[in-house]
Amino acid sequence: MSKTIIVSNRLPISLQHKNGKFEFKPSAGGLATGLGSIYKEGENIWIGWPGNDVEDEGQRKEVVDELKKLKMAPVFLTKKDVELYYEGFSNETIWPAFHYFTQHINYEDEYWDAYWNVNKKFCDAILAKASDSDTIWVHDYQLLLLPMMLREKLPNATIAFFQHIPFPSYEIMRMLPWRKQMLEGMVGADLIGFHTYDDMRHFLSAVGRILGLSNESGFIQADNRLVNVDAFPMGIDYEKFEKAALSPKTKNHVKKFKQTLGDQKLLITIDRLDYSKGIPNRIKVFEKLLDENPKYRGKVSMIMVVVPSRDQVQSYQTLKEEIDTLVGHINSKFSTLNWVPIHYFYRSFPFNELSAFYSMSDIALVTPLRDGMNLVCKEFVASKTDKKGVLILSEMAGASKELVDAILVNPNDQEGVTSAIVEALSMDEEEQELRITSMQASLKKYDIFQWVKVFMDRLQFVKEKQADLESK
Ligand code: G6P
């Protein structure tokens, strides 16, 4: 019996130490939900890093046993692996390069070596479970080398790769000394997916210019193996957000929060702490809005949730300090005893409180400088069960290709984003409804379950096409 193995850097849980023991916190992310329909079936399994260090051999065995019950298998990373592979090559080399933040790229051979070694560690962990007739779906930029490593050992396996972050233009790709090995690693897969057409186009151009492999309508001939490359925009668990917004739990939170905040217009912004999200730009735009429109002071405020992330990486620490300073600046400049411009939270929130933030906010300001997809904007739209609300969305987010009924902005254009907020604040309800309804219709149709299905169907199609060609 063949099985399907999902692989990602992180498992859809996080392992946490508590009083000398450990516990597993499930991840509520959309991807985990969408892939639940796969890895929880039969002999299928999800392989990845449990997100924390387990040094003791006895405890490791316990973790393996516990995870087995959840249909998962761990790849343990040492402190050095985390420092050089995860924080290092993944998040100080690939992440900034692929998001066009070339000033943040660290080029370290030591990082590259660790990246190769940890990809190999993942490969070995998979080989301990996989056979040549299995399907292996590898996720994201931390594991670019894995498809080819697997292909060398399991030549007939069905291997897929999906990249959740942008793929940059050839001009960026060629800056990386390890560009050739990275691309070769990816083409070990039978199917390579990106969120947008542009990412796919950039990848095909890099593969053409760096590996000398041409493509025909997204099909590459690599080592006599057909590899398909295409765009598969990821959706959300629409129903979950819609249901949550209508639930008594969320409604209670809304009531409570509104009592505290009073009658004012609310803007919501939610991001992981990351320089790609453009958080400082957004704060500066909000200051400009209040500077130029005194009528909004005391009447409009912003709820800004920043979720801690990668806090051992220097560029993230510097960003945190910059945000703290900017929020302090604007709040000290405009606050009154009963109003603050920005309600700033540096932490994550329970699901129903987030749902309440989405439901009660009039405007979502989603203005990343670069983003593979961005699911926050989709979650906001799905939560608007009364059809009222306006989404302001960056053209640089993958989601902008689908959510064309948002007010689309260039996040670097301070004047443009400020005008978009003014436009949103004065948009009549009829127009809000038209825009939200149209976006909801497409999000409902192309939800996370549909995304998984379309991707898996394509994978099967590619395998059939390969078999067809071989038999000729
Ligand atoms: C992005 C990446 C994911 C990553 C997530 C959180 O969405 O595409 O691969 O897991 O950020 O980042 P972290 O470094 O905490 O895993």
How high is the pLDDT of residue 17? Answer: 82
SS3 of the chain: helix, strand, coil, percent, to 5? 50, 20, 30
Residue 21 — pLDDT band, cuts 50, 70, 90?
confident
Q: Which of 193, 90, 195, 97 is nearest to 145 (CA)?
A: 90
pLDDT exceeds 80 at position 20: no
The mean pLDDT value of the chain amounts to 96
Supply the residue whose CA is at minimum distance from atom 9 of ligand 1: 140
pLDDT digit string (tens) for 416-429?
Answer: 999 999 999 999 99
Cβ(165) to ligand 1 under 6 A? Answer: yes
Query: What would the mean pLDDT of 255-265 be, rounded to a whole number?
Result: 96
Residue 211 confidence (pLDDT): 98
pLDDT over 80 (residue 28): no
Q: Is 435 in the pocket of ligand 1 (CB under 6 A)?
A: no
Walk across the sheet containing 45-49 and list its strands: 72-74, 45-49, 4-10, 135-139, 158-162, 191-194, 225-231, 219-222, 215-216
Q: What is the pLDDT of residue 33?
A: 85
| pLDDT band at residue 356 using 50, 70 and 90 as cut-offs | very high
Distance 47 CA to ligand 1 centre (A): 16
Looking at residue 54, its pLDDT comes to 86
Q: Please write the tens of the pLDDT for every residue from 297-315.
A: 999 999 999 999 999 999 9
Instruction: List the one residue out of 97, 230, 166 whose CA is nearest residue 399.
Output: 166
Residue range 188-217: mean pLDDT, rounded: 98
Q: Which of 31, 91, 272 to mutate to test the pocket of ligand 1 (most atoms within 8 A of CB)?
A: 272
pLDDT tier, 19 (very low <50, low <70, confident <90, very high otherwise): confident
Q: Is the pLDDT of residue 56 over 90?
A: no
What pLDDT score does 378 carry? 98
pLDDT of 434 > 90? The answer is yes
Q: What is the mean pLDDT of residues 84-91?
A: 98
Average pLDDT over residues 190-206: 98
pLDDT of 390 over the 80 cut: yes
pLDDT-derived band of residue 55, with 50, 70 and 90 as boundaries?
Answer: confident
Q: Contact, 357 vs 268, CB < 8 A?
A: yes
pLDDT band at 258 (very low <50, low <70, confident <90, very high): very high
Whether 292 contacts 246, CB under 8 Å: no
CA distance 344 to 347: 9
Tens-digit pLDDT profile for residues 270-286: 999 999 999 999 999 99
Cα separation, 217 vs 43, in Å, equals 35
Question: What integer pLDDT is reported at residue 445 of this predicted model?
Answer: 98
Write the burial class of residue 292 (CB in 10 Å: 0-12 exposed, 13-18 middle, 19+ buried).
exposed
Helix or strand run (H / E) with residue 126: helix 109-127
pTM across the whole model:
0.97
Cβ-proximal residues to 239 (8 Å cutoff; 6+ apart), any chain: 447
Q: How far apart are CA 139 and CA 162, in angstroms?
A: 5
Question: Residue 217 above 80 pLDDT?
Answer: yes
- Contact 27 CB / ligand 1 (< 6 Å): no
User: How far is CA 362 from each of CA 52, 302, 365, 427, rounded to the nearest angstrom?
Assistant: 38, 10, 10, 10
Q: Residue 52: is its pLDDT beyond 90? A: no
CA distance 275 to 316: 7
**Neighbouring C-alpha atoms within 13 Å toward the C-beta of 176:** 29
What SS3 state is found at 221? strand
Q: Is the pLDDT of residue 379 over 90?
A: yes
- Which atom from ligand 1 is nearest to the alpha carbon of 8? 9
The percent of residues above 90 in pLDDT, for the chain, comes to 92
Give residue 222 CA to ligand 1 midpoint distance, Å. 29
pLDDT at 293 over 90: yes
d(CA 140, CA 145): 11
Say if CB 97 and CB 51 are below 8 A apart: no
The percent of residues in the chain predicted with pLDDT above 70, rounded, is: 100
Q: Which residues lie below 8 Å from residue 295, measured CB to CB, with a gap of 6+?
A: none
Confirm or reject: Cβ of 14 under 6 Å from ligand 1: no
The residue-averaged pLDDT of 139-164 equals: 98
At 458, the pLDDT band (50, 70, 90 cuts) reads very high
Using CA atoms of 173, 176, 180, 186 in order, give the dihedral in degrees to the nearest 10: -60
The residue-averaged pLDDT of 183-194 equals: 98
- CA separation for the pair 63, 14 (Å, rounded): 12
Residue with tokens 């209670």: 252
How high is the pLDDT of residue 160? 98
DSSP SS3 for 54? coil
Q: Give bridge partners of residue 136 from the DSSP assignment.
A: 5, 159
Cβ proximity of 94 and 145 under 8 Å: no
* β-bridge partners, 46: 6, 72
Q: Which two tokens stand for residue 331?
A: 């709040």
Does ligand 1 lie within 6 Å of residue 144's CB atom? no
Q: Which tokens is 14 given?
A: 């996080």
pLDDT band at 341; cut points 50, 70, 90: very high
pLDDT-based confidence at 34, cuts 50/70/90? confident
pLDDT of residue 22: 83
Q: Tell me the pLDDT tens digit for each residue of 152-188.
A: 999 999 999 999 999 999 999 999 999 999 999 999 9
27: three-class secondary structure by DSSP: coil
**Which phi-psi region, left, alpha or beta, contains residue 401 (left: φ > 0; alpha: ψ -120 to 50)?**
alpha
